[in-house]
């Protein structure tokens, strides 16, 4: 019988603490949510650690001037992201992903050097390896995965890229090919009529060979990830499910169906079917390529279906049982990530995406003051944007990668007139089931939308009610 090590006890103790925290958090999610903080210039330990890792990467790389320049640019861009608050600072989220990465590294006896996973504030489902032990997963991904095994495969895939040296290889290739400058030069020559057919063919071969190598690297990373997963005793059968999530990145984790739009149906202002009319197909049609090369030829990732088919040939149907983080903790982390997905989409000015995820949360937490406020603020902001001809700054015009429900949200927002949008915003925040008399933001949003739509009597009533309740002027309230 294997004797438990001190690190095993420490890990179990930490998980127990975070389970308690997550249970408390889940109870709190029923009524409220506070968006998480982000790393900044105050995260001294993180910044120093990243600086050291990038410096180590630079020492390993070639002394080629172009390579050094690419490395420097990568480092500066990454550190700028850290300082701009692109990465979320949250113990639960960071502990969850770090525990999985550590287990994969330890159980495979990989080289010991600093490795860290950062939580990127992005609503999009993605994970990335920056090289030399630096990885990132998005809150969009953490909100979509269904269990620890699936995240373990995705992290193992990024870890494999690092172990196989794919990032360093790609940097060297970029330095040698300088594809961006070559593409610009070739395009100028084509437009000016100064290029011959054999030069086009040469450029095509250059692009195709580079992309083919990238595709092969993805398959190699998948293959190694399966081995890493197996050695860490995770369930390898979940690898295919993880790839399916990446394939249907915008699909909801929980199916809601027609009830998604129920929050916008009011007795005195019923939902109208024409609000969901399809937009012209040109807005959702996928782009197929350019006059130089077709899109499928330069795609750097093989299709998800082909990756799943290839992985199937390597499966031995080993039923791993490495889960050492409770289901309750994992679910709590996923819910935190779901709320952060709403917040990150809002901050990125992707209002259709933010509203889509907010409505999914509203279906589970109809009394959550944060969700109600965020929906109300999105509608109020878009009312102003429609009046100022800035609507497309907040809602995507083209939707080729949207799932069907997200397309409906996008169509809904485009189909609404400014007046209709104002009425929906007012009725939503003013609803007895939504308005919370103890929530300052609800008074503010009601006051805001009544001001925008010139409901003078209600403006005064809301302002007076706010002052009577909180003792200050509503105009001094700062919406976060």
Burial class (CB in 10 A: 0-12, 13-18, 19+), 60: exposed
Give the pLDDT confidence score for residue 22 in this predicted structure.
45
Residue whose token pair is 């989220």 = 93
CA distances from residue 69 to 8, 27, 63, 134 in whole angstroms, order as listed: 43, 50, 10, 19
Sheet holding 116-120, edge to edge: 37-38, 87-89, 116-120, 134-138, 127-131
Give the pLDDT confidence score for residue 181 in this predicted structure.
64
By DSSP bridging, strand 116-120 and strand 134-138 are parallel
- Beta-carbon contacts of 39 under 8 Å, excluding residues fewer than 6 positions away, are 46, 82, 85, 87, 88, 89, 118
- pLDDT exceeding 90 applies to what percent of the chain? 61
pLDDT level of residue 318 (50, 70, 90 thresholds): low
Q: What pLDDT, in 10s, does the model give residues 16-53?
A: 444 444 444 566 789 999 999 999 999 999 999 999 99
20-29, 133-142, 379-388: least confident range: 20-29
Q: Which of 41, 150, 29 is nearest to 89 (CA)?
A: 41
pLDDT level of residue 300 (50, 70, 90 thresholds): low
pLDDT level of residue 364 (50, 70, 90 thresholds): very high
Question: Other CB atoms closer than 10 Å to residue 331's CB: what's the count?
Answer: 14
Mean pLDDT for 83-97 is 96
Q: What pLDDT, in 10s, does the model give residues 151-177?
A: 999 999 999 999 998 888 877 777 776
């Amino acid at each position: 019988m294997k004797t438990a090590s001190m690190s095993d006890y420490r890990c179990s103790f930490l998980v127990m603490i975070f389970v308690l925290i997550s249970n408390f958090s889940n109870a709190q999610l029923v009524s409220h949510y506070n968006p998480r903080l982000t790393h900044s210039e105050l995260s001294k330990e993180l910044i120093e650690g990243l600086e050291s890792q990038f410096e180590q990467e630079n020492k390993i790389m070639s002394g080629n001037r172009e390579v050094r320049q690419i490395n420097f640019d990568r480092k500066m861009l990454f550190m700028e992201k850290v300082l701009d608050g692109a990465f979320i600072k949250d113990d639960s989220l960071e502990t969850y992903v770090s525990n999985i990465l550590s287990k994969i590294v330890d159980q495979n006896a990989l080289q010991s050097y600093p490795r860290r996973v950062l939580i990127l504030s992005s609503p999009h489902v993605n994970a990335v390896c920056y090289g030399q032990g630096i990885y990132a997963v998005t809150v969009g991904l953490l909100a979509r995965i269904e269990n620890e095994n699936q995240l373990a495969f995705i992290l193992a895939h990024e870890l494999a890229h690092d172990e196989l040296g794919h990032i360093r290889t790609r940097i060297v290739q970029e330095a040698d090919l300088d594809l961006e400058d070559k593409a610009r030069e070739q395009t100028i020559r084509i437009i000016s009529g100064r290029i011959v057919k054999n030069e086009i063919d040469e450029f095509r071969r250059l692009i195709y060979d580079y992309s083919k190598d990238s595709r092969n690297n993805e398959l190699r990373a998948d293959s190694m990830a399966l081995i890493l997963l197996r050695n860490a005793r995770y369930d390898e059968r979940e690898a295919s499910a993880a790839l399916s999530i990446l394939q249907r990145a915008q699909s909801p984790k929980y199916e809601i169906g027609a009830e998604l739009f129920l929050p916008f149906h009011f007795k005195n202002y019923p939902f109208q079917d024409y609000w969901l009319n399809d937009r012209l197909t040109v807005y959702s049609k996928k782009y197929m390529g350019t006059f130089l090369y077709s899109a499928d030829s330069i795609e750097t990732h093989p299709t998800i279906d082909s990756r799943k088919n290839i992985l199937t040939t390597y499966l031995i149907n080993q039923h791993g049982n490495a889960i050492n983080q409770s289901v309750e903790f994992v679910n709590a982390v996923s819910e935190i990530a779901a709320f952060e997905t709403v917040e990150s989409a809002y901050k990125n000015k992707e209002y259709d995406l933010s509203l889509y995820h907010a409505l999914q949360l509203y279906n589970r937490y109809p009394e959550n003051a944060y969700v109600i406020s965020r929906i109300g603020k999105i509608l109020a902001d878009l009312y102003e944007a429609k009046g100022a001809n800035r609507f497309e700054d907040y809602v995507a015009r083209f939707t080729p990668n949207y799932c069907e429900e997200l397309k409906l949200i996008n169509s809904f927002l485009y189909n609404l007139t400014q007046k209709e949008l104002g009425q929906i915003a007012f009725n939503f925040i003013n609803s007895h089931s939504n308005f919370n008399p103890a929530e300052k933001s609800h008074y503010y949003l009601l006051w805001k939308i009544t001001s925008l739509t010139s409901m003078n009597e209600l403006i005064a009533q809301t302002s007076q009610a706010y002052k009577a309740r909180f003792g200050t002027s509503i105009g001094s309230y700062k919406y976060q």
